[in-house]
Structure 1
């Protein structure tokens, strides 16, 4: 069986102190927001469906907005909307009293001519609706959604009054067949960029209306996020929760000679580079065995044990595969997906997913392609990554670490600027582990700048090789 070497750069503070990665033989798996590329895991999502699917999307938007309006009324500004936003919410998740109220609000909202015209127009006239276009539609109907919610809350005396009752919604009547015909003309004559500009212009009146409302009412930061376009942007962003699981990654490199990599990930060359040896399986994949992986579903009854983790090479390119949201709702149980997304009033959409083996294959292909792709700006890293799919929220969002077998760690390269004090501290830990694990072929290396190649190279510190007779 062939062997492949991978390198993992760590700052000294990761190896000791609160993290103690060296002593614990642990590998930290970071969520995307802790990575240094803000477009990590980017997916080119679009929306293309029929009237049933679009009706359910707007109804879901109303549901999320109502849920957070209620939270705001109960908790106030202390509630963190972005942190607690759950796009997987369904009507069944509401208290039974609010389920009844939502039914009333939904009938007024979805049953209005405004929404009927909009949904019909999108379903008939629009193909792939991209992110910016969807946000445009949601911003247009956002104040009307708030009006419907607070009208009902006012009626049942859940709020002092409906703050949106004086807003003029007559401009919503412009969302008709003529509106979509104009979009098609613009698209044919000027291209998609002009279409997006035209769409955004239709939101100005509504944005000005409720921005003015927030200014005049002295609303706090939280309520401004809820009542202005910030909610719309957050909603579209969080819709991905319905599609794919959360994920975590541990990053490795196939090379360790780039000075920028040492500077970024080795903390200005003061850290270390850990040298891991991995096995290649029968189909050519490099794997490493880690302890602590969760098998099965859910937090309760999960079994932790040793599992092989595949190294995924990163593909560096600017093009991303397009994914239809309505084809990729994979985070709800199938009955819930059919009830809340694929059917309406007992009628199942002909575009409903059957969740076949072919669908599952395409679904996971889309997921892994999205989390193993970065722009060419990062190509110098030569990155390979280990991945965890956080199905059912089994893993912690903040401190997910797994443990490697010490014998897979073949050596440590000290950075050019690693202090002698830090080297000695590392050597002491490794000395004990070498003896405990009978791993006497472990090697230490020193990095240096090679003037001939312009690269960071390393040489073995052969005087630090441990032998059984030395350790007693």
Structure 2
């Protein structure tokens, strides 16, 4: 079997500090929010559906909002949950507190059947062929306070709260959401293009954020509670909708080259860190794999399989644009019966688009969309020559802060010291490696020193022959 080589840059703090990555032979898998690209894992999601799908989307927004309102009602002043971490986009009515599940149907009917929401849904369906995240967020911000009004109106009726503070809000602005509004928007787009429409909508989003109708009510509350009662909730909701489509994921980043000075400067902490050299097995299809010790959930009757598992190296593609994905056709994190019941039907009427819904965890198109989205970066990052290992967190069982897997020490071919790696750090690493070489009989391990090559301006390295390990004669 042939062997491929990949490089992983690490700081001394990661290798020898609190994480002890070198001692533990561990590879840290980071969630997207810890990566250096703010659009890491970006998916060009759009929404295109019929009245039934749009009705269910606004109903789902209402459900998520009511769930947090009920949590706040029950917990009271001690309410301090971080919505960014605990927001569950896969929520159904069954996830509401049992005392409020029956009440939601009343709240939902008052909300969905209102003239404001009906006009909005009809306008989107008739005049907007498809919409993006900014436009969707704008519509949710428009109706957020009205949704709160409907929720608290019912809570007041059942004496769960003493006063519906949202009934003091003037909702006359919602009357502007009519055929004329959407026709004008359509004409505006035809004349000036989609980019100008997005700019116009973004300005409106900022308007709702600045002039929040519920701001006075929550001015003294914690930032977590503010996220419920202000239109900031709409932004959070749109961000979290992706969790209905694909599983959470974690990645460990490698590179196919280690000669770029910028890479050494950033990932090698200004050349004071090191570059780890890994050997990867290559299969008959020319895919490279690294074996890692892991606990894989849900693969046998006991729920856990322990031992080595091959992790494929995915090559990053560098492109200017991302392929668009229709949200309604990619709801893959719910069982199909729940998707049909909660998204593709309303009042027992099935959407004609249900026939085109064919999302399956084992489906080739579904996973193709997922992997394309997590293995693409813009051309600005092309100099990295990145490859990555991936974990798909199907069951939500991995930690956002401490997901690490262990590699076989023999898969680590060597370590390249940076140009500015201190002698003290070098000797700490050498002493640690010396013990492991003896423990695992990995006498082929090599140390290298990086240097600046004046001929081509790259960072190259040479083997430090004086640090070769000799195999004992009796082995």
Question: What's the TM-score once normalised by structure 1's chain length?
Answer: 0.94
Report how far residue 341 of structure 1 moved: 1.0
Superposition map of 1:193-212 within 5 A? 193-196=195-198, 199=201, 210-211=212-213
Superposed CA deviations along residues 332-383 of structure 1, whole A, max 9, x for unmatched, are 1222212111111112212125436799211111111111111111111111
Greater shift after overlay, 121-130 or 349-358?
Answer: 349-358
2:289·2:312 contact (CA, 8 Å) conserved in 1? yes
Greater shift after overlay, 352-361 or 341-350?
Answer: 352-361
1:167·1:209 contact (CA, 8 Å) conserved in 2? no
- CA distance 1:200–1:15, change in 2 (3 Å): closer
Match of 1:395 in 2: 398
Report how far residue 56 of structure 1 moved: 0.4
Greater shift after overlay, 163-172 or 455-464?
Answer: 163-172
Match of 2:238 in 1: 236
Match of 2:449 in 1: 446
1:210·1:227 contact (CA, 8 Å) conserved in 2? no
Superposition map of 1:194-273 within 5 A? 194-196=196-198, 199=201, 210-211=212-213, 213-215=214-216, 218-220=219-221, 221-273=223-275
Question: Which residue, 358, 365, 382 being the options, matches 2:385?
Answer: 382
Report how far residue 178 of structure 1 moved: 2.3
Q: Paired residues, what number?
A: 471
In 1, Cα distance between equivalents of 2:25 and 2:308? 14
Report how far residue 215 of structure 1 moved: 3.3
Over aligned residues, Cα RMSD in angstroms? 2.3
In 2, Cα distance between equivalents of 1:12 and 1:286? 27
1:297·1:392 contact (CA, 8 Å) conserved in 2? no
- CA distance 1:430–1:90, change in 2 (3 Å): same
Match of 1:279 in 2: 281
Report how far residue 176 of structure 1 moved: 2.2
Match of 1:309 in 2: 311
In 2, Cα distance between equivalents of 1:99 and 1:465? 69
- CA distance 1:298–1:175, change in 2 (3 Å): farther
Report how far residue 192 of structure 1 moved: 2.0
Report how far residue 173 of structure 1 moved: 2.4
Greater shift after overlay, 173-182 or 307-316?
Answer: 173-182
Superposed CA deviations along residues 217-249 of structure 1, whole A, max 9, x for unmatched, are 633233332222211111101100101110000
Structure 2 residue 416 is matched with structure 1 residue 416: no
What are structure 2's unaligned runs of at least 5 residues? Answer: none
1:435·1:471 contact (CA, 8 Å) conserved in 2? no
Report how far residue 79 of structure 1 moved: 2.1
- CA distance 1:197–1:299, change in 2 (3 Å): farther
Match of 1:72 in 2: 72
Report how far residue 73 of structure 1 moved: 2.6
- CA distance 1:90–1:379, change in 2 (3 Å): same
Report how far residue 204 of structure 1 moved: 8.3
Greater shift after overlay, 380-389 or 117-126?
Answer: 117-126
State the secondary structure of the residue aligned to 1:7: strand
In 1, Cα distance between equivalents of 2:454 and 2:209? 59
- CA distance 1:209–1:159, change in 2 (3 Å): farther
Match of 1:362 in 2: 365
Question: What's the TM-score once normalised by structure 2's chain length?
Answer: 0.94
